[in-house]
Amino acid sequence: MIAGALEASWIYVNVNINEYHLFPDPVFKIHFRMSRGVFKILVQTVGNHLRSKGRLRRVRTPLQDILLMVVWIMATPDSFRSVALRFGRRPSTLWDFYSYVVEALREVAKDYIKWPSEEERRDIKESFRRATGFPGAIGCIDCTHIYITAPVQDAAQYVNRHDTYSMNVQAVVDNQLLVRHLHVGEVGSMNDKRVFRRSPLCHDILKVEEERLLNADEHLLGDGGYTLTDFMMIPFPNDARLTEEQASFNKKLSQCRVRVENAFARGKGKWRRLKFLHARNPAILVDHITASFMLHNFTILNGEKFWEDDELARPIRNNQVLGNQVFDDNEDNGDDLNEEQEADQERLDAAAFNGVEYHT
pLDDT at res. 21:
95
CB 192 within 8 A of CB 199: no
pLDDT at res. 74:
98
**Please, which contacts does 333-340 make with residues 24 or more away whose CB atoms are closer than 8 Å?**
333/254, 333/255, 333/258, 334/227, 335/193, 335/194, 335/197, 335/227, 336/227, 337/197, 337/202, 337/206, 337/227, 337/229, 339/203, 340/197, 340/198
296-333 pLDDT per residue, tens: 999 999 998 876 544 434 434 434 444 433 334 343 33
For 267, residues 6+ apart whose C-beta sits below 8 A from its C-beta are 274, 292, 293, 296
Q: Which portions of the chain are predicted below pLDDT 70?
A: 1-8, 208-211, 239-240, 307-360
pLDDT at res. 311:
45
pLDDT at res. 238:
80
pLDDT at res. 285:
96
pLDDT at res. 65:
96
CA distance 301 to 38: 10
pLDDT at res. 331:
37
Please give the biggest Cα pair distance in the chain.
70
Q: What is the pTM of this model?
A: 0.84
Best CA proximity match to 326, nearest among 178, 133, 136, 121:
133
